[in-house]
Amino acid sequence: MSLRIGDEAPNFTAQTTEGEIDFHLWLGNNWGVIYSHPADFTPVCTTELGRTAQLKNDFQKRKTKVIAVSVDDLDSHHKWIVDINETQNCTVEFPIIADSDRNVATLYNMIHPKASTSTTVRSVYFISPDKKIQAIITYPASTGRNFTEILRVIDSLQLTAEYLVATPVDWEVGQDVIIPPSVKQEDVEKQYPKGHRVIKPYLRYTPQPNK
């Protein structure tokens, strides 16, 4: 059965390039991103893993752990990392799961039979500290992920988990956010002390509360 937003992220034990992990224990009280790769030594994946390594500080700033999964074995992963570091001018220091038995890929519905019966699509799962899936993005194998968008989604998820707001189209940190329709107008001034503006009764903006 497919995983959906709000479901608990399946736990698993796996061998990775950083040693054996229990996924939930490894995640701890952090946010997490787990994402899949069709195979080792593939060009698009190489650029994606390199970009993840380059964004190490950005993920750390967001208290977010990143872990990748590929259906190849550990020996292949370690050899591939050498290529990634060389070609992408980076140092891969996050774990890559060896998923030869496709256990993790199956748990996370990363193999889509109409695309391929053996390799994974480019799935991305965003997981909150309570181990719940908060967002899912899936790309075909031919389309590389946009890591600016992945960071933007994390920013939105973390903000809306803490405050009663929603983020509008193309929102970025520091921009105004939306007051949900569930908040009655008579409660707005108390709930949003930074002020607000009304475009329509259902479309109300307020400054980002933590900026």
pLDDT tens, position by position, 104-122 = 988 998 875 554 544 566 8
pLDDT of 119: 57
My answer on whether 174 and 78 are in the same domain is no
Catalytic residue, candidates 45, 157, 159, 179: 45
Give the domain range for residue 41: 13-145
* Cα(196)–Cα(211) distance, integer angstroms: 15
pLDDT of 166: 98
* 3-class SS shares of the chain: helix, strand, coil, % to 5: 30, 25, 45
Catalytic annotation present for 45 = yes
Q: Give the residue among 143, 108, 112, 139 at the shortest CA–CA distance from 32.
A: 108
My answer on whether 102 and 179 are in the same domain is no
Contact 8, 20 (CB under 8 A): no
Q: pLDDT under 50 in the chain at which residues? A: 115, 117-118
My answer on whether 29 and 132 are in the same domain is yes
pLDDT of 140: 84
My answer on whether 182 and 135 are in the same domain is no
